[in-house]
Chains A and B, each alone.
Chain A
């Protein structure tokens, strides 16, 4: 049974002449504004200096899209913030893929900014990141093709008015990017509904004896989880309609600290947490702990440690620090202390109560305890462990 809501009305997201409210006023009402709203000013600035050829129905040229993702300074002095911290090469491959008629599959372990990249790609290319299908084991075919408004269907019989288009169908009609999150969580028979859409670029509606043809500019960005790869492995027919880009974990600690720091600042901004000073040190410590546990070896390469089962990605580090910030702001001294991050850090590392706890206790006793300047952190963790 279709529960698919009709797509939301477009919120004036043609950013070149956008009359969007600015960032401050957005903050007041909505928990998480869309990328095209938050960065409307940057997108508009890019569009104004962008004189390179644009593929049909793209709001920006591929060059401008990569600049939007990677950051930089424009000719007119506008500063574009970096959305993706990592290899420029990967973003170039992703953008170039979307300019061909192959769809883009972003692969990676949880928390490697797959959805983040996909949202920003859709925002920059189509001006709209909301044509989204969230993949779950219960995603029905209607979420990819179309559903019916049964009241109208019964009253008026099959007609265009009684049809409820899916985000993918809307994207086809408007020549925009559709996003499919967690593609491998979707049951295989539902996944295969994408094959016709991706190869023929049409969506037949047999009930009405017609079809919807994709307008130029339509494409699909799917994300899939490396770890869940086996859940519903893509059929090879579907797989060969996708170009694959694997998003890696951050290469070095400086990159990861930058990622966590910039995202934490942004989140604290939207969540209106009171300003907390000197978070940098704690962020570095959390990132260090995560990297060492993930790699199974300490940063100086002198001791091996057990790796817990949890995926210790940058996204986890961000949520650990954010909840630490909330603790510090509301219950603490207003300064991020080791004790504030300890509780959520332990929760993030110890997912399996038996084996992960062993790994964590060993890490704490062997590595954290010895390290100079980590005494507070060690005791805070001991308390909550």
Chain B
């Protein structure tokens, strides 16, 4: 076929420009091509058919990634108002052959190019901002050449420039030839200065030309090319000889890539999200595209509706006035139709009473928009993604771009399964749902609160996680097993806890084995102490979930033995900072030993009083002082070890104070007042005394108020002080007491005033009617899992 029988129409568009999209549809209908080529990675051609599916709703994006290294990925987003998307759907509706013509992702993502290069539609990860988002006139023009033309013509909104200059042309001829001329001028005036970018661009344009040539030689006679306006002059027919382009494309690095559709969001299309070819107001453009008529009126009506949802009363009369103001502003600025600037000014002046904060609601909700796209479930993707989607559907969870709070009640099966899913995703480090603070006041162990936000880049995270397995459960389990082979002791114990929460029994057994082994080999007592609390919580949690955790208890008991053995050298001769860290660590271990005791056989057989866990508090908050639990148990071992620290002079003062307090609370020392007195007498240095008091009262004033014995001890000690001693000690005590809240201090004062002089434990005969109490005790035993 001779070249002169072939006609190639190049339509240079503005990416994500609704005006371009409208003009393009009209031009395509007029031209009647038998082949349509669209700027986009050529290896994404198999995906085109899915755009016709009714289940696919833009905004969506083509995701291309290297399966061997999913982080090496790029997106090509499309909104409903993107000319490329409209061209795709037009071609499918009119049975016109359609394909992508840009450099395949196999080349752009190949490892030689250190970072993904910058096709117009490509959004890399957030930190790679060497994309067209740079500064300098060329960068700005290159990023959005039509916006640059509009700005030169004095327009702040390129879409309005398009409307005014392009759409309202009366002769009805296609605007695209004139645009090609304008772009040719711009390309001469602003040549590429960055050599790397120049190479990338020449490759891309060479490939586009190559594709056009291939289609023409395949027998197509009317070829339409839809590309960014910038490239249009390089693609006009007749094309230069193919030899130069072949040379450019020879020997390009190549890698294996997989492409798929992923849902996208309007928020990710905006500049604010750091997307190179982004637009400032996707919501407004979407509105311009969808609104059948009277865009300004419809827009301001939806603004009013949005403001009403924020409890800002807006009447219809105000909307009428806003429309009129927007129109007269447009007239004043000599524009045929009000644009976003005018409607925003009118919104501020009429609907928001000049309040910028109220306007910001509208900006976030409407101008940018929260629309999230949908992809046909049949689109080929990694099995993990398919499983995740199916699971979400089963659990009635939606992947939305807006923040959602889930208050889960673990007693309900659906919520419990949701919780398991969230925990498994957490094991996979997929940040879709994060633990959050509950708005519901009651917080039992049966309640969990999660906050979920879906971001498009999670699509990559899912693909990355796909190396672990084909379903969420197997992937999470594999991930845990990997941890059991690689992680440190503390990481493994955290993994154990997560495995229980995520109900992953497969991983759990492996983890336990690894845990026992790692604990046996680890000689650093600090590691052991860090590992114990998570283990104790996991053990405790098993009471709720009915997983067999007896193995855990024995591992934990071993840990305690080893901690106790190594405690003395670990706490000796520490500097004050390390002493504080160690003191906090000891607090955690102390609490953990309290948790451990309930499930251990020894504790039951010794007939120790059941642990008094307040039902409202999470396990971590169980206070040490309220647990006078002993027996042949880790708890007892721990307290014995603490007793060993009592009279050692090489224990730092803060730890010494804490140890005295722990033992006093556990009823293990009789000479409490004397010890307090001794620690705070003349011999010790001021700094030591202060640290000692800090350690002694480390858990705040509340216990001092409610624990009669403790208060008696402190009260007795103060009462015995001589006047001079009192004056010496006062600053130290005051220093610590000033950290208590004022209601605590006031309550403390009231208690002391009513108790009268001297310690007075509450009197009362300790006789119980066991027969009467028996049913209640049985229930308590069952609650605690003792029976």
Contacts and interface: CB of A to CB of B under 8 A. Distances in A.
> Do chains A and B interact in one complex?
yes
Interface of A: 62-63, 66, 89, 92-93, 95-97, 99-100, 102, 105, 107, 236, 239-240, 243-246
Nearest to A97: B325
B349 A245 contact: yes
Nearest to B334: A63
Nearest to B333: A92
Contact of B350 (A62, A66, A99, A102): A102
A92 B330 CA distance: 10
Contacts of B328: 62, 96-97, 99-100
A245 B325 contact: no
Contact of A93 (B315, B329, B353): B329
B353 A63 contact: no
Interface stretch (B316-324, B393-401, B654-662): B316-324
Contact of B321 (A62, A99, A100, A246): A100
B325 A244 contact: no
B329 A240 contact: no
Interface string B286-324: 000000000000000000000000000101011001001
6 contacts: A96-B328, A100-B324, A105-B354, A239-B353, A243-B349, A244-B349
B345 interface: yes
A246 B329 CA distance: 17
Contact of A240 (B318, B324, B332): B318
Contacts of A97: 325, 328, 349
B354 A246 contact: yes
Given A100-B325, A102-B321, A102-B325, A243 B332 contact: no
Nearest to A102: B321
A62 B346 CA distance: 16
Contacts of A240: 315, 317-318
Contacts, number: 57
A65 B313 CA distance: 33
B350 A243 contact: yes
Contacts of A236: 313
Contacts of A102: 321, 324-325, 350
Given A89-B345, A93-B349, A107-B354, A243 B331 contact: no
A100 B341 CA distance: 18
Contacts of A63: 332, 334
B332 A66 contact: yes
B334 A244 contact: no
Contacts of A243: 321, 325, 349-350
Interface of A is mostly: helix
Contacts of B325: 93, 96-97, 100, 102, 243
A385 to B, nearest CB: 37
A92 B315 contact: no
Given A93-B349, A96-B325, A100-B328, A244 B354 contact: yes
Interface of B: 313, 315, 317-318, 321, 324-325, 328-329, 331-334, 341, 345-346, 348-350, 352-354, 356
A92 B321 contact: no
B353 A244 contact: yes
Contacts of B356: 246
Given A93-B349, A100-B328, A246-B356, 5 more contacts: A92-B345, A96-B329, A96-B331, A99-B332, A102-B325
Nearest to A66: B332
Contacts of A92: 329, 332-333, 345
Q: Which interface residue of B317, B354, B356 has the most chain A CB atoms within 10 A?
A: B354
A107 B352 CA distance: 13
A109 to B, nearest CB: 13
Tell me what chain B mostly uses at the interface: helix, strand, loop, or mixed: helix
7 tightest Cβ-Cβ pairs between the two chains A and B: A244-B354, A246-B354, A96-B328, A96-B329, A243-B349, A62-B332, A244-B353
A236 B350 CA distance: 13
Contacts of A239: 353
A46 to B, nearest CB: 15
B258 to A, nearest CB: 49
Contact of B332 (A96, A107, A244, A245): A96
Nearest to A234: B353
A100 B327 CA distance: 10
A236 B314 CA distance: 11
A253 B641 CA distance: 69
Most buried by B among A102, A236, A243: A243
Chain B CB within 10 Å, residue with most, of A62, A63, A93, A105:
A93
Nearest to A247: B354
A245 B315 CA distance: 19
A102 B322 CA distance: 10
A66 B332 CA distance: 9
A5 to B, nearest CB: 34
B353 A62 contact: no
Nearest to A239: B353
Contacts of B313: 236
B300 to A, nearest CB: 13
Contacts of B333: 92
Contacts of B332: 62-63, 66, 92, 95-96, 99
Nearest to A89: B345
A63 B354 CA distance: 23
Q: Which of A96, A99, A105, A240 has the most CB of B within 10 A?
A: A96
B349 A62 contact: no
Contacts of B349: 93, 97, 243-245
A71 B348 CA distance: 25
Contacts of B321: 100, 102, 243
Contacts of B346: 93
A66 B348 CA distance: 19
Contacts of A95: 332
B442 to A, nearest CB: 40
A100 B320 CA distance: 11
B777 to A, nearest CB: 62
Nearest to A199: B317
B359 to A, nearest CB: 11
A227 to B, nearest CB: 15
Nearest to B353: A244
Contacts of B315: 240
B109 to A, nearest CB: 43
Nearest to B317: A240
Contact of A62 (B317, B318, B331): B331
A249 B353 CA distance: 18
A118 to B, nearest CB: 15
B204 to A, nearest CB: 39
Counting chain A CB atoms within 10 Å of each CB, the highest count among B331, B345, B349 belongs to B349
A52 to B, nearest CB: 8
Contacts of A96: 325, 328-329, 331-332
B332 to A, nearest CB: 4
B72 to A, nearest CB: 41
A121 B348 CA distance: 20
A93 B345 contact: yes
Contacts of B352: 244
A90 to B, nearest CB: 9
Contacts of A99: 328, 332
A245 B332 CA distance: 17
Contacts of B353: 239, 244
A63 B352 CA distance: 25
A93 B351 CA distance: 13
Contacts of A246: 354, 356
Contacts of A244: 349-350, 352-354
A63 B332 CA distance: 6
A239 B317 CA distance: 12
A243 B317 CA distance: 12
Contacts of B350: 102, 243-244
A337 B446 CA distance: 75
A376 B353 CA distance: 46
Nearest to B328: A96
Nearest to A98: B328
A99 to B, nearest CB: 5
**Which of A62, A102, A239, A245 has the most B CB atoms < 10 Å from its CB?**
A102
